[in-house]
């Protein structure tokens, strides 16, 4: 009997940690004792029995200047991660998302031991910004597993093999029970429900809080039948919960997310994966985002942003299905007016719901994305 192959999985952020956990389950299902697993990650991967030798907390960083401030910490974590990989000496390393961190880990491993196969899982969004990263990635890793159907043409010209596996995050979304959610929380079946999702990074809360808070206050003041429901992201609960409780607003945790999606009339959400999740569930959504002002100024000055939209669902559809309010446009008045427009037009909401579901089909791929990712890893071994 052949010796089992060894796979080392690295995830530096919460979303990557969940992708890693799904991949671990799928690898075990597909290969059983034929694969040995180790890795660096968070709670989700730990729940699958992968104890991380490196503490990845504090690596959820977004923006140029936040990255510069965290440079020393990130550099140290990269060194620890590379050292752990070299100690384990796996046949392959799967590096999930987190462009800057994973690039440095890949470069460190490649320099020390070129025999280890490097697989990137989720590529940088070169269709939107910094297309030169495609060549950099092609020169650093052996294969890219992408969650976006339109990624391959950006990477393959540089000689990087690409496999589209689909988006496991969207596979995980169960069908919710909206009526049960309303009954559980004492909400009438005809009451308007607006979900509010503030993001899962401290920096996002800090930059979006006033705009979102102002929009919610304006909307509830003008619409007595409107119930805002804040869905709490676990990583920022300690920061956000006191603010929400002080405002007397309704809070639910993420384990109620599917039911809340099914009950919602509209959503106001921080730009990110959750916007795609809401679209997959057919929830008409308004999204906002703010970067640090210095980062934003540099991006504007260098004209780094290439995509016409920031939301994947809009990019997939080729048009603005989810209204976007970015930086100076992310103001209470603009957000509240956009949400009101949706609430005032039930027919538009119904049509938009159907369009959102259709637009996200290509983002989901053929389904069971973690299984497809596992099969890709096994084939590369």
User: Are residues 288 and 335 in contact, defined by beta-carbon separation less than 8 angstroms?
Assistant: yes
Beta partners for residue 119, in sequence order: 94, 143
Distances (CA, A) of 186 to 132, 267, 349: 52, 19, 24
pLDDT of residue 38: 97
How far apart, in whole angstroms, are the C-alpha atoms of residue 24 and residue 162? Answer: 20
User: Are residues 108 and 27 in contact, defined by beta-carbon separation less than 8 angstroms?
Assistant: no
Q: Which of 183, 185, 258, 265 is nearest to 223 (CA)?
A: 265
pLDDT of residue 65: 45
Domain map of the chain by residue range? 5-166+365-380, 178-363
pTM value is: 0.77
Matching fold, domains 5-166+365-380 and 178-363: yes
CATH class of 5-166+365-380: alpha beta
Q: Which CATH superfamily is domain 178-363 in?
A: Glycogen Phosphorylase B; (3.40.50.2000)
pLDDT of residue 292: 61
In the numeric block, the tokens 């192959």 are attached to 5
Mean pLDDT by 10 residues, the chain (381 residues): 86 92 97 95 95 81 52 86 97 95 96 97 84 94 93 94 91 87 94 93 87 96 95 85 89 93 96 91 94 61 66 88 91 96 96 93 81 96 92
pLDDT of residue 15: 86
String of DSSP letters for 34-85: GEEEEEE--HHHHHTT---SS--TT----SHHHHHHTHHHHHHHHHHHHHHH
């Amino acid at each position: 009997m052949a010796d089992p192959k060894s796979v080392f999985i690295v995830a530096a952020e919460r979303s990557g940690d969940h992708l890693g956990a799904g991949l671990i389950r799928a690898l075990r299902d597909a290969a059983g004792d034929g694969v040995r697993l180790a890795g660096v990650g968070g709670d989700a991967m730990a729940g699958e029995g992968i104890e991380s030798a490196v503490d990845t907390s504090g690596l959820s960083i977004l923006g140029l200047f936040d990255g510069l401030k965290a440079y020393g910490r990130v550099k140290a974590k990269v060194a620890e991660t590379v050292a752990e990989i070299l100690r384990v000496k796996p046949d392959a390393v799967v590096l999930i998302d987190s462009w800057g961190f994973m690039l440095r880990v890949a470069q460190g491993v490649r320099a020390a031991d070129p025999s280890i196969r490097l697989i990137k899982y989720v590529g940088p969004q070169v269709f939107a910004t910094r297309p030169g990263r495609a060549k950099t990635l092609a020169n650093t890793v052996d294969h890219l597993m992408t969650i976006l159907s339109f990624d391959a043409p950006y990477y393959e010209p540089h000689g990087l093999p690409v496999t589209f596996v689909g988006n496991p995050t969207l596979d995980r979304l169960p069908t919710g029970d909206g009526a049960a959610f309303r009954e559980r929380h004492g909400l009438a079946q005809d009451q308007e429900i607006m979900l509010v999702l503030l993001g899962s990074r401290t920096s996002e809360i800090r930059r979006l809080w006033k705009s979102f808070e102002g929009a919610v206050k304006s909307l509830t003041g003008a619409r007595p039948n409107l119930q805002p429901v804040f869905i709490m992201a676990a990583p920022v609960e300690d920061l956000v919960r006191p603010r929400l409780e002080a405002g007397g607003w309704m809070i639910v945790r993420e384990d109620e997310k599917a039911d809340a999606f099914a009950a919602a009339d509209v959503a106001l959400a921080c730009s990110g994966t959750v916007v795609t999740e809401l679209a997959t569930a057919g929830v008409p959504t308004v999204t906002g985002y703010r970067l640090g002002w210095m980062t934003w100024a540099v991006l504007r000055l260098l004209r780094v942003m290439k995509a016409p939209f920031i939301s994947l669902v809009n990019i997939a559809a080729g048009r603005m299905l989810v209204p976007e309010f970015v930086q100076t446009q992310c103001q209470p008045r603009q957000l509240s007016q956009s949400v009101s427009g949706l609430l005032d037009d039930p027919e538009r909401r119904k049509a938009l719901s159907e369009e959102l579901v259709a637009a996200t089909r290509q983002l989901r791929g053929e389904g069971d994305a973690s299984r497809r990712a596992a099969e890709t890893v096994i084939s590369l071994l």
